[in-house]
Every structure is written in C-alpha cells, then in structure tokens.
Amino acid sequence: MEDKIYSFVMRGELAKVALSKSDIVSKHAASEILSEEYIQNLALDMLDDELVNSAKLMATVYTAIAAFENGVRQFVVKILIEKYGENWWKKSVSEKIRKKAESRKEEEQKIKWHTQRGDSYINYVDFGELGSIMTNNLELFQDHIVSIEWAKAIFSTLERSRNVIMHSGELGKRDIERIGTNIRDWVSQVGQ
C-alpha cells in the first residue's frame, strides 16, 4: 500500500514540475503569487484551512476586478492626457471629485509609515466616479464605448462585487461569471 501512495505522490510531483516548465499553467497561478515567505509572514498556517481556501478563491476574483479597475483608470487618464495634456486633472474632472480625491491623498500623506495608493489623483477616485469623469468628457470617450450607460452599468456591477469581497464576503458562481462576462465585454469593446 505504501508503494502505491508513494507512486501516486511522486507522479503528482513530476506532473507539477513538468507543468511548471510548460506554458500550460497560467502565469496568474496562485501558487506563484502566494509564496512560502508570504504564507509565513501572514501566519496563514495558523488560520482555519476552510476560511483560507475560501479567501484564496475570492482573492482570485478580486485580482480580476482590481486589474480591470486599474486598467480603466489608465484608460481614462490616457484619453484625458491626449486631449488636455498634463493639466487633465483640473481641466476634465469635476471640482467635487477633485476635492474628494485631493483630500484623500492629503490624509494618506500624513501617515508616513504606510504605503500610499499612488502618485496620481486618479488612484484616489472611487471606482464608480470614473463613469462620472467619462460623462463629463463624453465627446472624448464616445468613440471607445457603446454608451456611457453601458460603461456605468459595468462599473456598478463590478464595484458591487468588489465591495462584497473587500468586506470579507463570498460571491456566488453566478456573480463570478457575471464579473467575467463584464470584463470580457469591456475588453472586447475598449481593449486593455
């Protein structure tokens, strides 16, 4: 019996090594990202295995949403810089959104011991506010999107899912599929 177990384990290990050297395994595999060092630093081994596994699944979903959100931020800034240059922030973003983002950045700068969101004010804008910025500059975005309502609906759906995950909730399969559909639709239309 021990020989069968040993054989089974060894075949698994050989398969893992072979897959790691091929292009079959995604470059986004969690095992590459979640290194042993992080596991130790975060004391994951001390937490309930079921809760950790559930959180890992939601972390994968969050990864997709975060990459999408940051891609949209880059897209918005790129379009606005093309039109307004380096003064895009003051020329294209409403005063209300600017003041809120600038206030957030100032507050973060006071906490020197913690990493900040970024250098650009766009990093301090709520996900949903990206749609408002696009609306204020619709003539610049209308060639890229189906309609502003379409873009805002995608942002709203993904923001809702993002907020569930960020507050340690779990999404169902339909929600995860909806996220994928929205991301695919956006990338097919706008690119990224």
Give the residue with greater pLDDT, 68 vs 25: 68
Do both 181 and 112 map to the same domain?
yes
Q: Do 107 and 149 lie in a common domain?
A: yes
Residue 21 pLDDT greater than 90, yes or no: no
71 and 15 both lie in a single domain: no
Q: Per the domain annotation, does 41 fall within a domain? A: no
How many degrees, rounded to 5, is the angle at CA 72 between CA 171 and CA 173? Answer: 15
Alpha-carbon distance 162 to 67, whole Å?
12
Residue 121 · residue 130 · CB < 8 Å: no
Prediction pTM value: 0.78
Predicted local distance difference test score (pLDDT) of residue 7? 58
Rounded Cα distance, 48 and 46, in Å: 7
pLDDT at 24: 47
116, containing H or E segment: none
Average of pLDDT values for 113-130?
93
User: In the prediction, which pLDDT does 82 show?
Assistant: 96
Yes or no: say if 155 and 130 are a contact pair by the CB < 8 Å rule. Answer: yes
Q: Is the pLDDT of residue 2 over 70?
A: no
Shared-domain flag, residues 128 and 183: yes
C-alpha 183/C-alpha 36 separation (Å) is: 31
What domain range includes position 91? 48-190
Report the pLDDT value the prediction gives residue 66, as an integer from 0 to 100.
94
Residue 15 has pLDDT above 70, yes or no: no
Average pLDDT (94-123) is 94
Q: How many domains is the chain partitioned into structurally? A: 2
What DSSP assignment string belongs to 1-32?
Answer: -HHHHHHHHHHHHHHHHHHHTSSSS-TT-HHH
- Average pLDDT of the chain, as a whole number: 87
**Is residue 141's pLDDT more than 90?**
yes
Domain presence at residue 159: yes
Burial of 141 (0-12, 13-18, 19+ CB in 10 A): buried
Contacts of 108 (CB under 8 A, 6+ apart): 114, 116, 117, 124
Q: Report yes or no: 92 and 133 within 8 Å, Cβ to Cβ.
A: yes
pLDDT in tens, 59-94: 999 999 999 999 999 999 999 999 999 999 999 999
Question: Does residue 13 form part of some domain?
Answer: yes
Q: Domain check: are 78 and 136 in the same one? A: yes
Q: Are 11 and 41 in contact (CB under 8 A)?
A: no
Long-range contacts formed by 97-101: CB under 8 A, 24+ apart: 97/125, 97/129, 97/132, 97/133, 100/124, 100/125, 100/126, 101/125
Residues 6+ apart with CB under 8 A from 131: 148, 151, 152, 155, 156
**What's the mean pLDDT in 22-27?**
51
| pLDDT tens digits, 142-186 | 999 999 999 999 999 999 999 999 999 999 999 999 999 999 999
Residue written as tokens 């384990």?
9
